[in-house]
Structure formats: structure tokens, C-alpha cells
Amino acid sequence: MFNKTKKNFEIEVNKYAIKNIIRKLEEQGVDYKQLTDPAFNDLVADEIEILKSDSKKVGVGIGIGILISLVTGI
């Protein structure tokens, strides 16, 4: 069950990264269909790393917030 959940999560992150890259390229006036597959896949891989980094930062922030709440009793 855990493996299935992890696989589904990876699929959704990949979909989100692809949508982000397409949107960013369109904002710059670049048609993503003109890129080669390896170039597009490299951009998607970079976007996935950015998403992972951002989610770690959010997780740490939430953890610190919970810890402060527990310590202060608010």
C-alpha cells in the first residue's frame, strides 16, 4: 500500500512539474513542443527538484510552528 501511495505521489508531482514548465515557457513566449525530449525532460527534472526543496522548507516551517505551539501552550 505504501509503495502504491508513493508511486501515485510521484506521478502527481511529475504532472504538476510538467504543467509548471509548460506555463513558464509560455510566459516567455517559447513553444514547449519545439524543445527536444531530452531538453524538456531536463527542465521537468529541475522543476521536480525545486518542488522537493520547497516542500521540505514548508515541512520544516510547519514542524517549527507546531513545536512553538506545544512549548508555549497556545
Q: In this structure, what DSSP letter does residue 34 have?
A: G
Write down the pLDDT at residue 44.
93
Write down the pLDDT at residue 3.
83
Write down the pLDDT at residue 55.
82
Write down the pLDDT at residue 19.
94
Contact of 47 with 17, CB cutoff 8 Å: yes
Write down the pLDDT at residue 24.
93
Chunked mean pLDDT (size 10), the chain, 74 residues: 82 91 93 90 92 85 88 80
